[in-house]
Amino acid sequence: MRGLYSSKTKIRNQIFTEIARMAYEGDDCRKLDELPYKIVPGEIATYRESIFLERAVVGERLRVAMGLSLRKIAEHAPISQGVEASVVEEKYYEPPLINIIKFACHSCPEKRVLVTEGCQGCLEHPCKEVCPKDAISMINGRSYIDEEKCIKCGKCVEACPYNAIIKQERPCAKACGMDAIHSDEYGRAHIDQDKCVSCGMCLVSCPFSAIVDKGQIYQTILAIKSGTPVYAIVAPAIAGQFGPDLKPEKIRPAFQALGFKNVVEVAVGADLCTIEEARDFMEEVPEKLPFMATSCCPAWSMMAKKLYPEYEKCISMALTPMVLTARLVKQKEPDCKIVFVGPCAAKKLEASRKSIRSYVDFVLTFEELQGMFEAKGVNFKELPDGEPLKEASSDGRGFAASGGVASAVVKAIRRMEPNREVKVVSAEGLQNCKKMLQMAKAGKYNGYLMEGMACPGGCIAGAGTIQPIRKSAASLEVMKKQAGFEECLDTEYEHLLSELEEL
């Protein structure tokens, strides 16, 4: 859960910090075998039934943070096995990106309805009366559910006046909008990688910290230490992620303290993406396409193409803000390295595509970046003020929140073609996005601009964020007001758009 500092948060932070520290200090990567004893010291377990299990889980998390695959449970291997392949400045993810540490999984039941101690055995027993399968009976004065008859419809849950009946679902499966998580033969969670779009919602929903994604912290720091100019392109969802001490004038110095040459905000690319999508919409809808859907969220875009391939052409072909920003920077400095820093696990998958690798070299989440700040001992209060980020519009920064993309595109269309009516529909969370696409397939949204966001709330609720979603939303509004101008069409880089598209 974003914004809740828990044992899960603590261990994740320790792992990212130790990987970053190892890279900055130039330690032998075989030190990985020692790190579980540093992260989980002593002899007594704190979080799980065994300290050996705790260290084993930490070991696997260290591996994936290095970009390595999980070890096979049935085979002996040191944590550092194969680490030499990751001690490079260029390391792309071996699929799958999202992994489940099987021995950390709690084997939660997929779905069940339970009668709790709160049952009062009331005279009316409405739970029994509403059950369509006659699965509820009264035994010893309390409601009893026959699991073999129960279809988990939840009608008894709604009917109970004491809220004594609950419906439990496996948290990771409930969060998955692709229905990609089921049980393996041992009852442990299993991800169907053919369905998964790497949104990362299962990762943040698992209370046992059994789900992990691969990282590039170590490789990023190696690139920084190599002397190659490394630029951070930062998603607008950074607003408020690192607390009040990382003020706008501190962002550039903070990244430079980590070794980055400079910082460019991805909202610059969002401005250009807005213009491109606005032009495409005016040209293609409804003459060539029944509707047009935004493309900046890779998990949403991938979901739409997987489930509704017949509407693939309806997903905007505009380059994403990340790619446009990266191309803009590399156009000026071709030999530099680009690190996208943002809230999103799916961006890691997007950046690993062959067509994008030459522009975006690494992807870090805010959580991973926090580990770098701590490893380097960066104190935001002590940093000198620097030049604030001012090259993007307020609307471009608004891409970070649900509804922001469509709002920016509509504004651009109205400026280019004032009399044009633009109908908009948006959805957040893949389950709602799926419903929106079903409605579009039925012809309900012909002529519409559709915005999809995989994460409920938008990018500010991404899997790699740190702060509570409401707090992030408030910080984003402040950041939007601090922008140098309001609308995307006022960007100084519009004249470069055609060149960036052709690169």
CB 96 within 8 A of CB 125: no
> What's 417's DSSP letter?
S
Question: What is the Cα 317 distance to its own chain's centre?
Answer: 22
- Distances, alpha carbon 152 to alpha carbons 110, 136, 147, 183, 422, in Å: 11, 12, 9, 17, 41
Angle, nearest 10°, between helix axes 366-376 and 217-225?
50
Strands (E), 434-499: 448-453
- pLDDT for 91 equals 56
502 phi and psi, to 5 degrees?
-85, -15
Helix, strand, or coil here: 433? helix
Q: What gap in Å lies between CA 26 and CA 149, rounded to an integer?
A: 61
**pTM for the full predicted model:** 0.94
Kindly provide the b/e burial profile for residues 37-51, where b requires at least 16 CB atoms within 10 angstroms of the residue's own CB. Answer: eebbeeeeeebbeeb
454 phi and psi, to 5 degrees?
-65, -35
Q: What is the dihedral of CA 73, 75, 78, 83, to 10 degrees?
A: -90
Q: What is the 3-state secondary structure (H, E, C) of 200-263?
A: CHHHHHCCCCCEEECCCHHHHHHHHHCCCCEEEEECHHHCCCCCCCCCHHHHHHHHHHCCCCEE
- Distances, alpha carbon 131 to alpha carbons 93, 109, 151, in Å: 48, 21, 9
- pLDDT for 370 equals 98
- Distances, alpha carbon 245 to alpha carbons 125, 158, 201, 234, 239, in Å: 56, 45, 28, 17, 12
Q: What residue has token string 């490893």?
A: 375
Angle, nearest 10°, between helix axes 7-25 and 366-376?
60
Kindly provide the b/e burial profile for residues 118-135, where b requires at least 16 CB atoms within 10 angstroms of the residue's own CB. Answer: ebeebeebbbbeebeeeb
Which two structure tokens, joined as six digits, stand for 329?
Answer: 């920077």
Per-residue pLDDT of the chain (503 residues; tens, 9 = 90+): 666 788 899 999 999 999 999 999 998 888 999 999 999 999 999 999 999 999 999 999 999 999 999 999 999 999 999 888 777 766 566 789 999 999 999 999 999 999 999 999 999 999 999 999 999 999 999 999 999 999 999 999 999 999 999 999 999 999 999 999 999 999 999 999 999 999 999 999 999 999 999 999 999 999 999 999 999 999 999 999 999 999 999 999 999 999 999 999 999 999 999 999 999 999 999 999 999 999 999 999 999 999 999 999 999 999 999 999 999 999 999 999 999 999 999 999 999 887 777 799 999 999 999 999 999 999 999 999 999 999 999 999 999 999 999 999 999 999 999 999 999 999 999 999 999 999 999 999 999 999 999 999 999 999 999 999 999 999 999 999 999 999 999 999 988 888 887 77
Characterize the bridge pairing of strands 230-234 and 262-265: parallel
- pLDDT for 501 equals 79
- pLDDT for 92 equals 64
CB 236 within 8 A of CB 483: no
CB 177 within 8 A of CB 433: yes
189 phi and psi, to 5 degrees?
-65, 140
- pLDDT for 90 equals 67
- pLDDT for 89 equals 65
